[in-house]
Structure 1
Amino acid sequence: MKKLKVSILALALGAVMFTSCNAYKNANKSERGAAIGVAGGAVAGGVIGKITGNTALGSIIGAAVGGGAGYVIGKKMDKQAEDIKEQIPDAKVQRVEEGIVVEFNSKVLFGFDQSSLTDASRNTLNNLITILNKYPQTNLEVQGHTDNTGAASYNMTLSVKRATAVSDYLKANGIAGSRLTVKGFGETVPKYDNNTEDGRAQNRRVEFLITANDQMKADAAQEAKDQGK
């Protein structure tokens, strides 16, 4: 019965564009991992990101390997997430499948309507850099987001500039450029309610999506094999 559930879930993630994501939401971690392994992380991530409206979830699942290796990666990500929570209290840290989402409200990093980092934000990013150097086998996607105030084209440009400013600072301070990807979403992916001032303020954010690089995936696959997972 469990194998049947996993198979159905895999089909849903890989080919079903006409269904909801309820099967994925209701599955346990091992079933999710197996489904990702069967359907393919990129396919699963694209489907889930689209139907949930959560680009972070979709991107992280798109980079997932699933199965025993995914379990090993998840345990490593648990430790990194705890380190970030402890060292950077201004950040919102969420463990998502085989990755981590770290969210900074833009006011933590930038002045209003600005894309230049503040002195305080550099200190915050320095703490993050310390942790990223401790876990070198991870990739980072830096996402810029805005609220819906003003022209959409302006917001898109601002989101790209902010994400780029953060990425450039990381690279200038020892994080390899090969680990970094920059994306700007402007106002297109609100996480909070744009009908309230508080919601708009929270939508003005920069998110880091932390996922395993190829070396971590290979090491995790070998570790899982050695453990018989």
Structure 2
Amino acid sequence: MSKIVLLLLVLAPSFYSCNSFKKLNNTQRGAIIGAGTGAAMGAAIGRKSNPAIYAIVGSAVGGIAGTFVGKYMDKQAEKLKKDLDVVADVERVGEGIKITMKSGVLFDFNSSKINPTVNDNLMKFAETLKQYPDTEILVAGHTDNVGTEAYNMKLSQQRADAVAAVLKANNVSRSRLTVLGYGEKDPVADNTLESGREQNRRVEFAIVADDKLKKDAVKASGNEVSKK
């Protein structure tokens, strides 16, 4: 079972009934932030409280080990910025990477069929993920609030599945992927405006360290301390 899924099961028992971290109470959010991420990540939570951010925060190891993880992510993020060019925003957040792809680029309106124009970008994305294998990836689909809540949930899942299918077809291990639809539950902009609805129609990724990378980072940080 993916460590991202385990994180969600432990920290957000209501998650599968609503497919959204928005249902986490303040105590649960505080527990995640307190996992070694510090005030800077707490500020990030306040700025962008969405599933991708929570996945990154909850997966953090913190301390010197977190610095080693961060260096691994720095190199990967630079490559991903080139891979995804103008089709996505790539951000380094804490010990992970958050990527936001606009559905207007990926899909036609009310469709889950990926536009051929972004195939090359997604293939490059997959190649980079294979070059940095010690990570797990949350693929999260989101919609605006046009239409019924049930329809939007289904569409968001279909879109997340479509993107994940491209990654798997290009040999990204399915065991690394957690693929979830969030429907209209997690808007990042005002749904009463077309510009806001466009921002809300998106697919996000959270790239976090897997157990191997965390163990390697802890070991490396121990060696670093012993040299001092």
CA distance in structure 1 between the partners assigned to 2:48 and 2:168 by the alignment: 32
Q: Give the superposition deviation at 1:162.
A: 0.5
More contact order relative to length (CA 8 Å, sep ≥ 6): 2
Q: 2:111 aligns to what SS in structure 1?
A: coil
Is structure 2 residue 155 aligned with structure 1 residue 158?
yes
Q: Give the superposition deviation at 1:86.
A: 2.1
Q: Report 1:111-122 matches (<5 A).
A: 111-122=108-119
The amino acid of 1:107's aligned partner reads G
Q: Percent identity?
A: 44
Between Structure 1 and Structure 2, how many residues are aligned?
197
Q: Report 1:1-229 matches (<5 A).
A: 17=26, 35-37=34-36, 53-89=49-85, 90-228=87-225
Q: Give the superposition deviation at 1:109.
A: 1.2
Structure 2 gaps of 5+ residues are 1-24
Q: Give the superposition deviation at 1:121.
A: 2.4
Moved more, 106-115 or 173-182: 106-115
CA distance in structure 2 between the partners assigned to 1:20 and 1:170 by the alignment: 31
| CA displacement, residues 168-189 of structure 1 (integer Å, 9 cap, x when unaligned) | 1211110001100011100000
The amino acid of 1:67's aligned partner reads G
| CA displacement, residues 158-216 of structure 1 (integer Å, 9 cap, x when unaligned) | 00010011111211110001100011100000012212111101110001110011111
CA distance in structure 2 between the partners assigned to 1:165 and 1:194 by the alignment: 24
TM-score by length of 2: 0.78
Q: Give the superposition deviation at 1:106.
A: 0.6
CA distance in structure 1 between the partners assigned to 2:64 and 2:29 by the alignment: 26
The amino acid of 1:173's aligned partner reads N
Q: Give the superposition deviation at 1:126.
A: 0.6
State which structure, 1 or 2, has the greater radius of gyration over its C-alpha atoms: 1
Structure 1 gaps of 5+ residues are 1-15, 25-31
CA distance in structure 2 between the partners assigned to 1:78 and 1:154 by the alignment: 37
CA RMSD, 1 decimal = 2.8
CA distance in structure 2 between the partners assigned to 1:189 and 1:38 by the alignment: 23
